[in-house]
Amino acid sequence: MTEIGELRDKIKIYRKKRTSDGMGGWKEEEELIMTPFARVEAPRSKSGVIAQKDAEIRSHEILIRYSSEIKMGDIVDFLGQKLVVQAIRFDAKRKWMYLDCVPELK
């Protein structure tokens, strides 16, 4: 059972937003959605080959209180590391939500 005292990591959650550049194009900016406390864990990792180079892809699991604001594709900033939300899971009572994340590719 999760207790509120387990949420000790301060994170920021951003969403990419397109805005007009005034010349028919657009630019992408990150808009701050929320700054909750969370529990961030890196429980799984797997090795793989990306672009013919060995790479380690580490998944992060982030636990926060339930919020309807967060969507897949949002970006979590944790200690300067950018993580992209790939999946969202809830507990049965929708008190907690789990964000499954992977590091943002640049």
For residue range 39-78, list pLDDT tens digits in order.
Answer: 999 876 555 555 555 555 667 999 999 999 999 999 999 9
* CB 67 within 8 Å of CB 106: no
Residue numbers of the domain that contains 98: 4-103
For residue range 1-44, list pLDDT tens digits in order.
Answer: 677 788 999 999 999 998 888 888 889 999 999 999 999 998 76
Q: How is residue 56 written in tokens?
A: 């380690």
Q: How many domains does the chain have?
A: 1
Q: How far apart are CA 66 and CA 81, in angstroms?
A: 22
CATH code (residue 53): 2.40.10.270
Scanning the structure block, which residue is given the tokens 């590091």?
103
Q: How is residue 26 written in tokens?
A: 């657009």
